[in-house]
Amino acid sequence: MPLEYKGGFLAREARYSGSADAFLKQLSKKFTVGCYQLADKIGALFAETPAKRRRLEDVTLDHVETIVPVLVLQDHIFRVPFLNWYINQRFQERLAPLSLRPDIVVRPLTVIHIQDLESVIHAIEHSDFDFIAAIDDRAKIDTLGLSDIMDWFRQYERFGHGPSPRLKDILGEISRDSLSYLFPDYKDSEEDT
């Protein structure tokens, strides 16, 4: 599952002008480049000609059969409908002329907002929810990327049931630190046992 991350935000004119041209121009300038980078990296790692393939340090890729590409974005405006569809079109255009190994399947690009990704990570740390399999299922079934990613995850029975043990530990530590600062005589009940 290759990931590409793009921070930053669209310019005010692109957001509020009401102009599709201004929006798409900014989208291409700042964020379509992310899907191009992802396609190019996939092309370099899985080139049909072995001599042209790039290598990853300490990782063999010979066993890889399916690639599930993901683009993580930060700007809230990218939660709009059809964005995944639009960016996936750019990704597919960039990927199409690349000569990949014939045994490789590249799924459609999944676009996920960073807050959704962080929510998913907390949700899956509690259970045996398979994030990669869920993304792969979405890419196989919703090839256009029109479904809401969080709605897609919610259909899985094991998704989001219970708190993340890691998050629970972090919140417990913050709580103990805060209480001991505010109340110097405070003792955590876990310390007493």
**Residue 49 φ/ψ region, left for φ over 0, alpha for ψ in the -120 to 50 degree band, beta for the rest:** beta
pLDDT along the chain (193 residues), means of 10: 68 80 81 86 94 89 92 79 88 95 95 85 73 92 91 84 73 83 74 44
User: What is the structure's pLDDT at 188?
Assistant: 67
User: What is the structure's pLDDT at 80?
Assistant: 75
Name residue 67's beta-bridge partners: 106
User: What is the structure's pLDDT at 141?
Assistant: 95
With H, G, I as helix, E, B as strand and everything else as coil, classify residue 71. strand
User: What is the structure's pLDDT at 90?
Assistant: 93
Please name the residues in contact with 38: beta carbons below 8 A apart, sequence gap of 6 or more. Answer: 2, 4, 69, 71, 91, 109
Question: Model-level pTM?
Answer: 0.74
User: What is the structure's pLDDT at 26?
Assistant: 80
Q: Is 8 exposed, middle or buried (0-12, 13-18, 19+ CB in 10 A)?
A: exposed
